[in-house]
Each structure stands twice: as C-alpha cells, then as structure tokens.
C-alpha cells in the first residue's frame, strides 16, 4: 500500500515508518521539523529511514492547506496515519495557540484532503489524556470523556469528534488511537523518563511530581507500533449495535472506532524511577513535589477491544523497555 505518515520524524512516526517499510509498503513521510524539542534528534531519526527506496520525505506543515492538498493530489494514498501534532500537556499551558494551529487546523486539513481523495482508512493519534478527570479505572473507550484537564487533551478529544463527523457525513473510515505514555529508544526528550535518565547521569536532582505516587500505563514503543499496524488493516464499518438511545462513544453507526493502546499494567512513578536507577547503577536525588496543573494521578488502559478486534495486547515489561532505552541513551549521547 501507499501510506502517508504525518509526524514521520517524531518518535512514533519514525518507528511506524520503519515497520511499514519492512512490510513492503511505500511510505511518504511528512513533518515540519519544528523546534519544540531538539531538531537534531528528529533529523537523526529521519537519517535512519531516508535511504530506504520506498520512503519519501516532505518537510511540510499541516497548517499549509494548499500544500497538503497538493501532496494528496500528487500521491494516490491508500491509507493516512496522522501522528503529527503539538504534543505535551505542560507546554499547552504556556503556548496554547500552537495546539489550536497544529491539532485543530492541521487535523482539519487532513480530514478535508482524505475526503477529497477517497482515502480507504484514516488512522489518527489521540491520547490517554482525553480521560481527564475520570476516576473509574481501567479507562474504557466506552466511557464518557467530556472533562479534559488540559488544552492538549481537549484538542485530542476534538480530533475524535471531528473524525467522527467526517466518517458520518462522507463515509470516511476513521480509527482513533489513544496512546498511553509511550517510551523507548529515540523517545521524546521532554518525557519524564528521558529527563530522569539525563539528570541522574549528570548527578542532578530530579523533580518527582505527586510525590512519586503518580501511576502511568507505560507502553513500550514496539507495542504501540504493532497495535497501529494491526489497526491499519482493520478498517471500521458501520456498527449495527450502536444505539442513539444509549450511545457508546467508542463505536458508531458510521465507519468509526476508538481503541486504547496501553500496557494494561499501570506502574507507580517511584517504581519506574527505581527501574531507571537499577539500569544506570546510580541512585537519583529526588525532589518530591505536588501534582502539577493538567496532570492526572493515574492512567490505566482497558484494551479488551484491541485484543478482541485485532488479536494484540501490549505486554513489554518496564524492566525490558527501560533497559533498552538506557542502552540507547548511553550509546547516542556518549
């Protein structure tokens, strides 16, 4: 298939592009290479895949409507995987307009181009942060998610609503994927595990929010990518079990579906830090702090739909994933 991957220089986009190429697909990668974090890491990721004969890269911003439309017109994509977005909960408190531009305006341009060019399946990244103030765990895609606690989460919920509308109006098959705390080699430098590793090696104190009691469903990158690949090949259809009298948010009478992709085993932050310490052989100097605005105390994915529909359940233990990350970090930075 010919597949467009937006955010191809990003963490998930980089791994997904590699996987799709290994399966014999043609991949067109798009990224604006913005400076939200170290651009050299993005270009280093890209250099790993740009030599592949079936990979083509376009430096392009989702907000450039004309160029996006031109890209779709010049390439007859079978599938679109939209991973490009302004990421980060905390940054959304500082620069909210970046989230409106990329996550709303940019996503709108993707939807319009998918509609105009008869895309067979749009798969897009949502986030576990859409669960917001929900306290019922594990988080199920059938739960109401109308109480986000960050603008980032609100834009991801908006993506799900926008995609559903296009699915309903134009019969565009859409699948949204709520990723749960993705980690691994080549990861994002603004993520906690990356910051912890850097600070511990530099013998600097680390900030541990919610006094280390935060629980996260840490999900290794290979599990995320396996889930995405399986979902790409599982195109949603109109679901006759959906009822407007008792509407399930995860399905629809339109060709639309939402999945969680998470490890289904939340880990307390303090244990996660201990795992990093064990892999590094160095104890961290911990600065215990209260929870930050926009953060939620726990994330925990119900992945039953993923297991039932595509036969996959993420299962990489944090001990395995963190060791791989630490080994990569030392090799890349030292």
Q: Is 152 a catalytic residue?
A: yes
Quick check: helix, strand or coil at residue 194? Answer: helix
Rounded-to-10 torsion of CA 266, 332, 17, 30: 110
Q: How far apart are CA 232 and CA 277, in angstroms?
A: 37
Tell me which residue of 251, 258, 262, 244 sits closest to 298, measured CA to CA: 262
The single residue listed with the structure tokens 């134009």 is 170
- Written as six digits, the tokens of 299 are 């994330």
- Written as six digits, the tokens of 117 are 């060019």
DSSP state of 254: S
Residues 48 and 24: beta-carbon distance below 8 Å: no
Tell me which residue of 152, 155, 157 sits closest to 141, measured CA to CA: 157
The single residue listed with the structure tokens 């450039």 is 64
The one catalytic residue in 15, 152, 220, 300 is: 152
Contacts of range 237-242, beta carbons closer than 8 Å, 24 or more positions apart: 237/173
Q: How far apart are CA 113 and CA 34, in angstroms?
A: 22
Work out the end-to-end distance of the chain between its first and last CA atoms, rounded to an integer number of angstroms: 39
Question: CA dist 218 to 13, 41, 240, 314, Å?
Answer: 18, 22, 34, 10
Quick check: helix, strand or coil at residue 27? Answer: strand
The single residue listed with the structure tokens 């085993």 is 265
Residues with catalytic annotation? 152
């Amino acid at each position: 298939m010919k597949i467009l991957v937006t955010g191809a220089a990003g963490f998930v986009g980089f791994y997904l592009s590699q996987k799709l190429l290994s399966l014999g697909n043609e991949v067109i990668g798009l990224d604006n290479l913005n400076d939200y974090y170290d651009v050299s890491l993005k270009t280093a990721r890209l250099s790993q895949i740009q030599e592949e004969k079936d990979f083509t890269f376009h430096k392009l911003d989702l907000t450039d409507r004309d160029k996006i439309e031109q890209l779709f017109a010049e390439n007859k994509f079978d599938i679109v995987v939209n991973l490009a977005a302004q990421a980060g909960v905390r940054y959304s408190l500082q620069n909210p307009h970046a989230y409106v531009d990329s996550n709303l305006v940019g996503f709108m341009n993707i939807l319009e181009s998918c509609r105009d060019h008869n895309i067979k399946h749009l798969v897009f990244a949502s986030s576990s942060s859409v669960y917001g103030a929900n306290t019922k765990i594990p988080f199920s895609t059938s739960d109401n998610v109308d109480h986000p606690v960050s603008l980032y989460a609100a834009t991801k919920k908006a993506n799900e609503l926008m995609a559903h509308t296009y699915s309903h109006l134009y019969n565009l098959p859409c699948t949204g994927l709520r990723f749960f705390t993705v980690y691994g080699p080549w990861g994002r430098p603004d993520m906690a595990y990356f910051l912890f590793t850097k600070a511990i090696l530099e013998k600097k104190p680390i900030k541990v929010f919610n006094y280390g009691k935060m629980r996260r469903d840490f999900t290794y990158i290979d599990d995320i990518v396996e889930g995405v690949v399986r979902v790409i090949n599982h195109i949603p259809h109109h679901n006759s079990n959906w009822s407007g009298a008792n509407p399930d948010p995860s399905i629809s009478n339109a060709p639309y579906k939402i999945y969680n992709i998470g490890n289904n085993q939340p880990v307390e932050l303090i244990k996660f830090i201990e795992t990093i310490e064990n892999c590094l052989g160095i104890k961290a100097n911990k600065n215990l702090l209260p929870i930050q605005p926009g953060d939620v105390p726990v994330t925990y994915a119900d992945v039953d739909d993923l297991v039932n529909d595509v036969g996959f359940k993420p299962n990489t233990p944090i001990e395995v994933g963190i060791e791989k990350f630490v080994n990569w970090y030392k090799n890349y930075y030292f």
